[in-house]
Amino acid sequence: MSELKKYKELALGGNIEKGGTAVDFKTGDWRSSRPIYHPENCIQCLFCWVYCPDSAVILKDGKVTGFNLDHCKGCGICAHECPGKKKVKAITMEEEVK
């Protein structure tokens, strides 16, 4: 999608002809900190998943397995909402090293 199209190659009226094409756009480099998953503390409550503004919590068979770092902007809502196991968080935020 990076190649800019000429006007005759575009769909009528500026339509984006397919839904959900934003998945191809990477916002991961906006991050200043990244979520780290600690599965041993995860109770699979899915709060991280449901509150993620960027749909960046990866689920497999309905269970959290990690993060889509192409989209994750590092807001930290997941870590904040995480109840963890016995008050020990299953997600912590770690500063990005550039």
Residues that bind another protein (CB under 8 A): 1, 4-8, 10-27, 30-31, 45-47, 49-56, 59, 62, 68, 70-77, 79-81, 93
For residue 27, give the nearest of 73, 95, 58 by alpha carbon: 73
Other C-beta atoms lying within 10 Å of the C-beta of residue 84:
16
Residue 95 token pair: 């500063």
Q: Which is nearer to another protein, 14 or 97 (CB)?
A: 14
DSSP β-ladder status, 33-37 and 91-95: antiparallel
Closest CB 65 distance from another protein, rounded Å: 12
- Residue 20 carries which DSSP code? T
Closest CB 47 distance from another protein, rounded Å: 8
Q: Which is nearer to another protein, 42 or 75 (CB)?
A: 75
Q: Which is nearer to another protein, 20 or 40 (CB)?
A: 20
Q: Which is nearer to another protein, 36 or 46 (CB)?
A: 46
CB of 98 within 8 A of CB of 37? no
